[in-house]
């Protein structure tokens, strides 16, 4: 089973799915980081990352944490698909003896 090759389209699809899952998991943390960085020194709305996420859920709902994620999903999905497929291709071809 280890010698069986997976087709390039399957690798691209798998890489795209990995990119989607990665963005979906990381986007709320990135949103909180950006909101914390954009706070003005005088008026601090959030005290911590967890405070930011809780306040975002309360004020905007669960899907408010994903507002603006469409751009990231659109850009990261093909990038990860190509990156992971190319990595697998080159690893396979360059890891042969000699």
> Each residue of 35-60: pLDDT tens digit?
999 988 778 899 999 999 999 999 99
Q: Which helix (H) or strand (E) holds 90?
A: helix 69-94
Residue at 14 is within a domain? no
Average pLDDT, the chain: 88
Residue at 25 is within a domain? yes
Residue at 9 is within a domain? no
Residue-range definition of the domain harbouring residue 58: 19-37+45-91
What total of structural domains would you count in the chain?
1
Residue at 77 is within a domain? yes
Q: What is the pLDDT of residue 98?
A: 56
Residue at 87 is within a domain? yes
From residue 45, how far is each of 32, 37, 53, 63, 80 by CA, in Å? 12, 11, 12, 20, 35
Q: What is the pLDDT of residue 24?
A: 93
Q: What percent of the chain has pLDDT over 70?
A: 95
């Amino acid at each position: 089973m280890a010698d069986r090759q997976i087709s390039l389209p399957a690798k691209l699809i798998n890489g795209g799915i990995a990119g989607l899952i990665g963005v979906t998991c990381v986007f709320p943390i990135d949103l909180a980081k950006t909101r914390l960085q954009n706070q003005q020194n005088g008026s601090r709305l959030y005290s911590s990352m967890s405070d930011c996420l809780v306040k975002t859920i309360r004020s905007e709902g669960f899907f408010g944490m994903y507002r603006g994620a469409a751009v990231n999903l659109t850009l990261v999905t093909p990038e990860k698909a190509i990156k992971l497929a190319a990595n697998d291709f080159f690893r396979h071809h360059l890891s042969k003896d000699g």
